[in-house]
Amino acid sequence: MSDPRPIGLFDSGVGGLTVAREVFRILPGESIIYFGDTAHVPYGPRQKEELIRFAREIISFLIAAGVKYIIFACGTNSSLTLPLIRRDYDVPMIGLVEPGAREAVQATRNRRIGLIATEATVKSGAYQRTVRRLTPESEVFAQAAPRLVPLVEAGLSAGEEARRAVFAYARPLKEAGIDTLILGCTHYPFLTPHFREYFGPDVRLVDPAAATVLEAQREVERLGLINAAAGAPRHSYYVSGDPAGFVSAAQKLGYHLENVRRLQLESLPPEKAWRARPPQAAGG
């Protein structure tokens, strides 16, 4: 029994490619459909209502495209929109917060956990609440970092400007004495060398992507949605902005993408036309 339908992933831009990379590694037989909402990046400064609207439009597109499972490959959406809208759809979904918080709790030794994320993620309190639920004795020190996503999207993650920005945002967290840092935005793993340089070997960096995809793997297998068929998977990429800009930014980050297509969210039919059907049994 096999379900060849793709897995859907979405983010505000190129950040979610760090999650896609884990899908390719952990679930190598699965095809993906990736949507980067580059017309609206960055998500961090936007209002919750606007982010919910974007998420619903993207999810509607992914469902219409036939995905069997959706990964919120975006820290902001995982924090704000997933808890509010997942019950409205029949396609199973997962976000980054719970797996990332769980990994941080397992990693910390002194119970002082840092979180660096977008303004919206920090303000949502999602990571803070989840960590406290998992281990009430832990403290979470959160730092919003609004300059980092635009730098990554511009292909400047390796440069001096990004290095200085990381150091400035990381300083209060180091002064707080953290021993574990959650990279709460999927763009931030592209800045890992700067974080490692600043914090040194004594601070564990937690990228929630791998833990999230491992959890997704378990759920896909449990639901009978795994693709066990032979043959190479097929991957499709869509953006709401300029495809050439997305391809260029991805290439600077080490991803070589072809056939990236533009899809304007505003041009999609009303959401009610794309209500999800219940997940089919494997082979259905």
The Cα 210–Cα 25 span in angstroms is 9
- How far apart, in Å, do the first and last CA atoms of the chain sit? 9
DSSP single-letter state for residue 140 = E
| Domain covering 97-208, topology | Rossmann fold (3.40.50)
The pLDDT of residue 268 is 55
The Cα 152–Cα 175 span in angstroms is 25
Task: Give the number of other CB atoms < 10 A from CB of residue 202.
Answer: 8
State residue 204 phi and psi, 5-degree precision. Answer: -80, 125
User: Residue 205 corresponds to which tokens in the numbers above?
Assistant: 């960096």
* Residue carrying structure tokens 């990693």: 107
The pLDDT of residue 266 is 67
The Cα 121–Cα 111 span in angstroms is 21
Q: 269 by DSSP, 3-state: which?
A: coil
Residues carrying CATH 3.40.50.1860, the chain: 7-96+210-274, 97-208
Closest CA to 42 of 238, 172, 186: 186
The residues annotated with a catalytic role in the active site are 74, 185
Domain 7-96+210-274 has CATH 3.40.50.1860: yes
The Cα 44–Cα 222 span in angstroms is 34
Task: Give the number of other CB atoms < 10 A from CB of residue 160.
Answer: 9
The pLDDT of residue 282 is 30
Beta bridge partners of 70: 8, 93
Instruction: Give the mean pLDDT per block of 10 residues along the chain (284 residues).
Output: 94 97 97 97 94 95 96 97 94 98 98 98 97 97 98 96 98 98 98 98 97 97 92 94 95 92 72 37 29
CA 245, 190, 265: angle at the middle one, nearest 5?
40
